[in-house]
Amino acid sequence: MTRDIERRLQKLESQVPRQPIEEEKNVESLQRFLFCAVAYYLGDPTPEGAPIEAYVRALGYPNTNEYRKAKFPDLQERVRVARTKLLEKFGASWEHE
């Protein structure tokens, strides 16, 4: 009977979504901040445009369809370059503290 209860408990626990730890929340917040900063400072946002449109422009894609079709290595490199440009705009770099 105890094993049956333990199995049921394990099954119930496996169905509960895992809550992110504090570090994961911090990383997600930083990613969102960098997305918004790249879009705002490098993407020439318009008042009526969506933030993703400015972000796509900042990465150098002609439109959101091209952004969605982008392969991971190309997208990753463009994000790296955009973030580096953002830091340079404020006189900072990844190499310095």
**Span 45-80, pLDDT tens digits:** 999 999 999 999 999 999 999 999 999 999 999 999
pLDDT at residue 44, as a whole number: 95
Q: Characterise 93 by phi-psi region: left (phi > 0), alpha (psi -120 to 50), beta (else).
A: beta
* Sign of the torsion formed by the C-alpha atoms of 24, 26, 31 and 36: positive
Confidence of residue 3 (pLDDT cuts 50, 70, 90): confident
pTM of the model: 0.77
Q: Could you report the per-residue pLDDT of 4-14, keeping only the tens digit for each?
A: 888 888 888 88
Token pair for residue 47?
A: 């008042």
Where is pLDDT greater, at 1 or 83? 83
